[in-house]
Structure 1
């Protein structure tokens, strides 16, 4: 089912410290384009043909193979970009004080004097 091999190629694995990002070889946009086309066609088929959504004739495996399988494969191919985006988001959320903390400390609004 997966387009990308589950293990890392020997060119990525080195004796030095492992790199944080895994870059696919250049020119490997072909599988991603094919998977995106497969996903688009599967979504269109499920939207336009109600009998493909599941039932006695096809069961529930056809929607999986038309939509879920290519989506999982695309996520697998983009796993390095997804991990980077999640790290950036987590860092940004850790830096920004929460709304509750701002309310407690009065950050962002003028303080009134008690007089």
Structure 2
């Protein structure tokens, strides 16, 4: 999970449905249920709270289909993010080169009349 910190008091959650459940833990549904362990002082997800979560588990074939769909979509999104970051880096490089060439006089700027 992105943006979370784990401390000394941790547990391992094991399930044979780990591929599906890991998607659930990264979903808005889980975020909605997470209000059960977010307090004004210490945010903690205890074993007792975890054991009281309700997770709809469809048949295995449907879980596999859902996981495959999510993984494919996430791969597409990650590829688009990488491509966009590359374009941004190239634009920054072009910007710096343009500024350098104008400042050093390699490109003449037309004066306003």
TM-score range, shorter chain: 0.3 to 0.5
TM-score, normalised by the number of residues in structure 2? 0.37
TM-score, normalised by the number of residues in structure 1? 0.36
Structure whose alpha-carbon radius of gyration is higher: 2
